[in-house]
Amino acid sequence: MSNFRLRTWLVVLILMAVLPSLVVVLINHQSNQAVSLERATTQMEAVARLAAATHEQSVEGVRQILGTISSGPSVRRYDLEQLCIEFIDNVAKASPSYSIIGVLTLEGKARCMKDEQLKAIDFSDRQYFKDAIEGRQFTVGEYVFGRASGKKALTYSVPVYDYQDQLKGVAFAGLDLEKVDQRLKGLHLDPDTQIFLVSSSGLLLASTHKTLDDIGSLHDDPGLKELLSAQAKPQDRSGPIQVGESLYVIAPVDHAGMSRTFFVTRANQQAILGRGLSQLRSQLLVLMASAVLSVLLAWVIATRKISVPIQRLVQRMNLAGKGGYGSIPQTEEVVLTSLEFNLLNHHLSDMLRQLQLHQAAVASSSDGIVICDALQADMPMVYVNPAFERMTGYAASEVLGKSCRFLQSEDRDQPAVAQIRQAVAANKEVAVTLRNYRHDGSLFWNSLRIAPVRDARGLVTHYVGIQTDVTGRIQNEEELARRASHDWLTGLPNRTLLEDRISLAIERAKRENAAFTIAFIDLDNFKVFNDSIGHAAGDTLLVEVGRRLTQSVRAQDTVSRLGGDEIVVVFEGLGEPSLLREALIRLQNRLEEPVHLHGKDYVVAASIGIANFPKDGDSAQSLLQHADIAMYKAKADGRGVVRAYDPALDARSNEKLELSNALRKGLANREFELHYQPKVESGTGLLSGFEALVRWHHPVHGLIPPLQFIAHSQSRPA
């Protein structure tokens, strides 16, 4: 009887323990579903924001590229078209992510672009062109389908000004959307989660699930339309929304305070909640099975009381890594421990899946990612991804626990470093470009974006840094800048840099009440030399002449090649005649040393014209013009000599110039005619021939004698 009562009591206790647990499971199911939706929404927001942050870095990159283009001397000046073409071509080669990069005039016509087909296209109807002209700032344009490239692109543009700050055109670039689409499809996302990039008008720009043919078409998703409508009305903006069976999250891509593109993540709500329903069924089955089994065991092994359920619970907890609790004297303790275990297992499983998703996304990123602990002294690194190891050459084991400052080596006096300190002190985001050094000591340029991570109380606990190696882009920009100011053959300063140097010399001379001299050098008979032994040898000769002249002057002097065989030397602070004479003799002696080419020695001679500041001019243009006139005087006086500028030379130069222009017009207007004079033999009186005599009937000066124009038409200094 006592055994029956014991069994009955055990059954009652088991039922009392199971039934409340069943009620608790059912009640908590709704709460768990809400938690699952919130967790899924958080993951979707993280993915969308990470994609938006990455795209914002791309926008920053194109803004820097267009800034480099719009500030380039060959783009701002219209007399350097070939340099401008080379400049744009080099930028395009260094920027493979863009389908087109170019410059437009105020009329919307292409310039500085190799493709002749582009020059026939009128770009003035493009919205990005109109926005740049009207807004006078960096502008995000609309989606376009390239009329010449045949590619789908998202356009960006900036206005171009000349050196007088006059608007002269627009520089633009088209981000290749096919490559953006490929990067999205390369993400490893949950099969139930989709992400796509759309414009504010609803055009699909890239996605993880659509085909390339869908790019540029209006997205017909009703949830997307509702999201974009909310973005257009600030008072209606909210977090995630649910439309039908889908859950949506949007992350705007910030462009200088405005958003024209958005990343949207979409997930199937039933798929998210389905996991909770499956888990509920599993819990109910386990709970009911445990109840039935416990009842049977209570009747069969009453002496054991409730030891078997305790052992089963211990086994389950051991499998979960929790270890055994031993025997528990009260059944209520068993039930509560099982419920706690199930809830803990549920949360741990969800956290593990979320952690695995985040870890896979961070590990597969091509950008280096660093996480620093903001609560420890010196903010040591606590995580680096594989891309960081590849980029810096440091293994994770070498850097974890250290401050990021070691990447700067001794090069810490950088403006970007000060910006980072200020942002960290203010707990704000910051984006900079700075010099870092790899494990082997080699330098690389790092485009770094740092953002604080806050806990539930708003306290900054960590900082996340995303770094991109932009060394190639920086080197290309520096090389393009050097080519814009130096001669491609000799490496000497070109006319643009020469005029800047002369202008600076004029300012210094005015401050110090000093003088300086410009020497205009033209190699004698260079055309004959070039035609005789070839242009390659002529180029070698010019390089050698530039090297000799550079070695023959002082460090503060400038040697510049204007083009062809014309070279200019600026003697700073050298106005005293005796010192100038010594410097010029030194130049001539160095030039006249034989040059060995193709097994032979060649002697180089030059005609030199000089002009002095302030006596012969007060601007770079006037000094160069007067030195040039003096050089032509040196050629006229027999070549290989030095002549100083004389104002009297201007009158003769103007007369020759007017006569040259009149000769060209006279030939075009047929003002010349031939007169034939018979020749008669004196002995026989017979006609032996004719003598042809040219006559010029000038419309203003009348008949001009041949002696005044024949000699001029035949004189061309070389």
Residue 637's pLDDT is 84
pLDDT, tens digit (0-9, with 9 covering 90-100), for 394-404: 998 999 999 88
Tell me which DSSP letter residue 405 carries.
G
Residue 438 banded pLDDT, cuts 50, 70, 90: very high
pLDDT, tens digit (0-9, with 9 covering 90-100), for 157-200: 899 998 888 888 998 888 888 888 888 878 777 777 888 888 77
Higher-confidence position of 315 and 575? 575
Residue 531's pLDDT is 82
pLDDT, tens digit (0-9, with 9 covering 90-100), for 621-668: 999 999 999 998 888 888 888 999 988 876 555 556 566 667 777 777
Higher-confidence position of 241 and 1? 241
Higher-confidence position of 147 and 611? 611
Residue 464 banded pLDDT, cuts 50, 70, 90: very high
Residue 334's pLDDT is 47
Domains of the chain: 59-176 (3.30.450.20), 365-475 (3.30.450.20), 485-645 (3.30.70.270), 654-714 (no CATH)
Enter the tokens of residue 314: 């211990």
**Side-chain half-sphere of 718: how many Cα atoms within 13 Å?**
8
Cβ–Cβ under 8 Å, residues 172 and 157? yes
Long-range contacts made by residues 638-644, C-beta under 8 angstroms, separation at least 24? 639/524, 639/525, 639/605, 639/607, 640/524, 640/605, 640/606, 640/607, 641/607, 641/608, 642/584, 642/588, 642/608, 642/609, 642/610, 643/607, 643/608, 643/609, 643/610, 644/609, 644/610, 644/611, 644/612
Is 616 among the residues known to form the active site? no
Percent of residues, the chain, with pLDDT higher than 70: 79
Active-site choice (221, 350, 469, 565): 565
Average pLDDT over residues 517-545: 88
Cβ–Cβ under 8 Å, residues 105 and 169? yes
pLDDT reading at 540 higher than 70: yes
Tell me the residue length of the chain. Answer: 718
Numbers of helices and strands, H then E, in the chain:
21, 25
Average pLDDT of the chain to the nearest whole number: 79
pLDDT reading at 609 higher than 90: yes
Tell me which DSSP letter residue 522 carries.
E
The label of the residue with tokens 């090649």 reads 561
Residue 535's pLDDT is 84
CB burial class (10 A; 0-12, 13-18, 19+) of residue 708?
exposed
